[in-house]
């Protein structure tokens, strides 16, 4: 049986997940209505949170599509990996049209979304197009790669300085295409992603009725505009927040020992202490998956002093980490 390049065997991984779930006493976070549709299996021990106004509950830990699933060409290994991810209780899968060579991330995720297990997954992808025709073409290709007839969440990818926000919603703009696809029930929800340094992100949040917003959530100084301006605005508008770059950017720039770095668990705790619905770190090994799951099942919010201590540690270096 083939395996992805991990330090943890598949059998040991599954035993670890079962053991951690059995020992965990963490319940879904308070304030979640019992009758709200959920993207978390009833048997999952992962805490869950509402994804903004979507009416969907999601586990606090999702799968980022940039990592093993964007890089591996071993279909058997990828298929087993994704099955194990889903069995662990992670049901939020995020990818993008551009992830991996020739869309490999979407194609690999299609190995599981193209099966009967599709109904267990909250599937999110992104379009980088800014035009009506371009978005239609990209979504059509994403549907084909993912082997599905609908996408739960389509996101306008990486709003930045070169974007004219007002043009997004014009007749020939990307949002007009996505609104039409939503009417046709090809997509359920529409979101946006952006980096902290671009003022266009805040303008976009103020201008359009997004369902979700994906932003940087980590203690590094370069993420402060996201934490202090973008994220609070999204929360005020009841937009579901998806935390990206929790480890600082590929491949985990903030993870490690010494000044400017910390352990993965602390960085995830920091992210989940913020008003986010789900964090989506990219996963490259089963060991990373195991560690992330352990952090999620045992999650307790950081105190203000813990947050301040982590921020001081991460920002002890003069040079800011970035991708």
41 pLDDT above the threshold of 50: yes
Residue 34 falls inside a structural domain: no
Answer left, alpha or beta for residue 72, where phi above 0 means left and psi between -120 and 50 means alpha. Answer: beta
Decide: 267 and 217 in contact? Cβ < 8 Å: no
Count: domains in the chain: 1
210/270 Cα distance (integer angstroms) = 25
Q: Is residue 66 part of a domain?
A: yes
Residue 30 forms part of a structural domain: no
For the chain, what is the mean pLDDT? 88
Whole-structure pTM value: 0.87
- Enclosing domain of residue 135: 10-15+41-314
Higher-pLDDT residue of 20 and 168 is 168
Q: pLDDT tens digits, residue range 141-189?
A: 999 999 999 999 999 999 999 999 999 999 999 999 999 999 999 999 9
Are 168 and 209 in contact, with CB atoms under 8 Å apart?
A: no
Q: How confident is the model at residue 317 (pLDDT cuts 50, 70, 90)?
A: confident
> Residue 89: how many CB atoms within 10 A of its CB?
21
pLDDT tens for each residue of 224-233: 999 999 999 9
Q: Give the model confidence (pLDDT) of 77-92 as tens digits.
A: 999 999 999 999 999 9
CB 21 within 8 A of CB 45: yes
Query: Is 26 part of any domain?
Result: no
User: In which residue are the tokens 């299996």 written?
Assistant: 41
Task: Evaluate whether residue 2 is within a structural domain.
Answer: no
**pLDDT the model gives residue 39:** 64
Asked if residue 183 is part of any domain, the answer here is: yes
Could you tell me if residue 211 is inside a domain? yes
The domain that holds 127 is classified in CATH as: 3.20.20.100
User: Would residue 219 count as lying in a domain?
Assistant: yes
Please tell me the distance from the alpha carbon of residue 226 to that of residue 202, in angstroms, as a whole number.
9
Q: How many residues does the chain have?
A: 323
């Amino acid at each position: 049986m083939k395996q992805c390049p991990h330090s943890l065997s598949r059998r040991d991984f599954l035993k670890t997940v079962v053991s951690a779930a059995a020992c965990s006493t963490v319940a879904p976070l308070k304030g979640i209505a019992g009758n709200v549709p959920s993207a978390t299996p009833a048997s999952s021990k992962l805490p869950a949170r509402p994804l903004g106004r979507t009416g969907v509950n999601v586990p606090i830990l999702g799968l980022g599509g940039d990592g093993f699933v964007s890089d591996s060409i071993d279909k058997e290994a990828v298929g087993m990996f994704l099955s194990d991810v889903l069995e662990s209780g992670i049901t939020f899968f995020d990818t993008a049209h551009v992830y991996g060579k020739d869309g490999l991330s979407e194609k690999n995720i299609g190995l599981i979304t193209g099966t009967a297990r599709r109904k267990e997954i909250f599937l999110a992808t992104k379009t980088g197009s800014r035009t009506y025709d371009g978005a239609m073409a990209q979504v059509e290709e994403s549907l084909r790669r993912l082997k599905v007839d609908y996408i739960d969440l389509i996101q306008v990818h990486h709003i930045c300085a070169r974007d004219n926000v007002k043009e997004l919603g014009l007749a020939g703009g990307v949002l007009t295409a996505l609104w039409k696809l939503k009417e046709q029930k090809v997509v359920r929800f529409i979101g946006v992603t952006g980096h902290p340094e671009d003022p266009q992100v805040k303008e976009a949040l103020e201008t359009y009725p997004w369902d979700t917003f994906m932003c940087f959530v980590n203690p590094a100084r370069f993420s402060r505009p996201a934490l202090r301006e973008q994220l609070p605005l999204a929360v005020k508008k009841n937009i579901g927040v998806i935390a990206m770059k929790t480890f600082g950017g590929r491949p985990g720039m903030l993870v490690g020992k010494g000044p400017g770095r910390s352990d993965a668990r602390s960085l995830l705790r920091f992210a989940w202490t913020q008003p986010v619905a789900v964090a989506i770190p990219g996963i490259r090994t089963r060991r990373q998956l195991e560690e992330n799951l352990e952090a999620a099942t045992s999650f307790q919010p950081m105190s203000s002093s813990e947050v301040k201590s982590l921020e001081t540690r991460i920002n002890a270096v003069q040079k800011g980490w970035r991708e």
